[in-house]
Chains A and B, each alone.
Chain A
Amino acid sequence: MILRSVLYASLVVLFALHNDLWLWHDASNWLGLPAGFAYHVLYCLAVSGLMFLLVRYAWPSLLDEN
């Protein structure tokens, strides 16, 4: 139950982190890409990782699986 809550909270935090205001005017490069672009590519990877944890550890337990 605690893990489930932590994962749900992580989802909210990750949603908030979508708004990367600190990179708004950043013209530097990360991994050969503009910082504001690279951030959102990495963001997609992070979302996929969190989704993996959600389906692994916070799967709705009372669903009809048959």
Chain B
Amino acid sequence: MTLFVIAIYFALVLLVSVLSHRLFRGTGEDYFVASRTIGPFLLLMSLFGTHMTAFSLLGASAESYHIGIGVFGLMASSSAIVAPAVFFFIGIKFWSAGKRNGFLTQVQFFRSRWESDLVGLLLFVILVAFLIPYLLIGVMGGGVTLHQISGGSIPEWLGSLFVCAIILFYVSYGGLRGTVWANTFQTLVFITLGALTFVIILRSLGGLTQALEQVRESHAFLLVRGEHIQPLTHLSYAFIGLSAGMFPHISMHWLTARSALTFRAPIVLYPLCIAVVWIPSVLLGVVGRISFPDLHGPEANSILVRMIEVHAPEVLAGLLAAGVLAAVMSSLDSQVLAVGTMFTQDIVRHYGFHDRMTERQQILYGRIFIAAIIGVAFLLSLVSNRSIFKLGIWSFTGFAALFPIAAAACYWKRSTAAGVIASIATVAVLWLGFFLHGWQTPGYTVANTGLMPVAIILPASAVALVIGSWLSRPPSTAALTRFFPDS
């Protein structure tokens, strides 16, 4: 039954993608940024679906099982304020410059802003380096999900291969428009099914009040932050949300907006969408202690699945699995397309063709790179072990630490290529230092103070940018006029 529901879900994703292809205009701009025609609803759904990963469903409930309700403040409400603020202050300006100058990638924007090929190349390298582990997590997450929900009959590698094949089809066939449509469908699936699961399980437990009362009697520490979440961790986690300003897959979706006004609905509704998805995830993790009081470490990753097995009908297991796969795939597809677009536009087109490629060549290379990236990610997933999942927060830290570059591009006219290069170098060195020191330690914080590494790397990156800029010659008037038409 479960696999039947999954099969229907996959068929619907492909159908949505095929339908979207009817609008394809055959140009590079249409393939890579949907001709900048996406409206408010599709932009909200695609941004949200891309930003929220399987962690929002499975990881959040597992973390809440261990440390309680504080997970919501740590990861959900912090993103609820930081992400839409980033859309408001960075996203709209990025979209505006992208439309004026015909940019198709984030790297084109930064390279042109500071008139420096080196800036473009360094950013390309570091962005792809931070994105690869994130991409691998998606590929492996798809395999793990199908393995678990099939009761082990589908091996993880086959599950990953299947997810990769579906994504390869609709991303390479439909480009960004196909991805946006598929993302919208997937986002609606995981929002709806998450809420449905929540209601059915709570009803089985006698309602929310009764369930929380049982938790209070046996595991009262889960209902407060207390000693198990440090205030400094809570504070510094909020900076992780700034990663939204440097994610290539998020900026790719920004470029698809029909107009600046298209951003209004996503900015206002984003915090509500986050609440709708995270409230069930966190509370189900907490009340999971009632039925399963003794899960240790990674065993809690399956708390949601276990709760469904005990408290909900079999069909719901299939629906929830579809929801989890929707969350995995709606991020993975955009990441694959973003990297494929960057290879095509920022490397092949810029260096191989000196920015002169026909529309057909752009689409062809785009498809080749998408296939190559999915293929490489799949092969890497075969040789990577589960410890790759620990890299998620480190990947986010790297992107967040690069945020001063996005802010300077949009707001600081005096910033220079030298400053940006200094900032990138600082992030690379500090990130590597912290990573080598702490990646094997679960819940690593700087010298056990509770402070996340991002709280050190981010300001260091900003300081390097400022010093490097002040020590170098100011940018040209021509470049500034392109980016600050009001000046």
Q: Does B271 contact A (CB under 8 A)?
A: yes
Known contacts A40-B72, A44-B76, A18 near B81 by CB under 8 Å: yes
Q: Does A57 contact B (CB under 8 A)?
A: no
Q: How far is the CA of A29 from the CA of B234 in the complex (A)?
A: 21
Known contacts A24-B231, A36-B69, A48 near B269 by CB under 8 Å: yes
The answer to whether B271 touches A64, judged by C-beta atoms less than 8 angstroms apart, is no
The answer to whether B220 touches A27, judged by C-beta atoms less than 8 angstroms apart, is yes
Q: Provide the residues of chain A in CB contact with B96, threshold 8 Å.
A: 63-64
The answer to whether A65 touches B259, judged by C-beta atoms less than 8 angstroms apart, is yes
The answer to whether A47 touches B224, judged by C-beta atoms less than 8 angstroms apart, is no
The digit string for B387-425, where 1 denotes a CB below 8 A from any CB of A, is 000000000000000000000000000000000000000
Q: Provide the residues of chain B in CB contact with A33, threshold 8 Å.
A: 208, 212
The answer to whether A51 touches B267, judged by C-beta atoms less than 8 angstroms apart, is yes
Question: Shortest Cβ distance from B242 into chain A, in angstroms?
Answer: 12
Interface of B is mostly: helix
Q: How far is the CA of A56 from the CA of B461 in the complex (A)?
A: 33
The answer to whether A19 touches B272, judged by C-beta atoms less than 8 angstroms apart, is no
Known contacts A63-B260, A64-B99, A18 near B238 by CB under 8 Å: yes
- Number of A-B residue pairs with CB-CB distance less than 8 Å in the complex they form: 118
Q: Does B93 contact A (CB under 8 A)?
A: yes
Q: Provide the residues of chain B in CB contact with A20, threshold 8 Å.
A: 73
Interface size class of B (residues with CB under 8 A): 35 or more
The digit string for B277-304, where 1 denotes a CB below 8 A from any CB of A, is 0010011000000000000000000000
For A, the interface residue count at a CB cutoff of 8 angstroms equals 37
Question: Shortest Cβ distance from A35 into chain B, in angstroms?
Answer: 8
Contact of B92 among A23, A26, A29, A63 (CB under 8 A): A63
Most chain A CB neighbours (cut-off 10 Å) among B85, B100, B263, B270:
B85
Q: Provide the residues of chain A in CB contact with B168, threshold 8 Å.
A: none
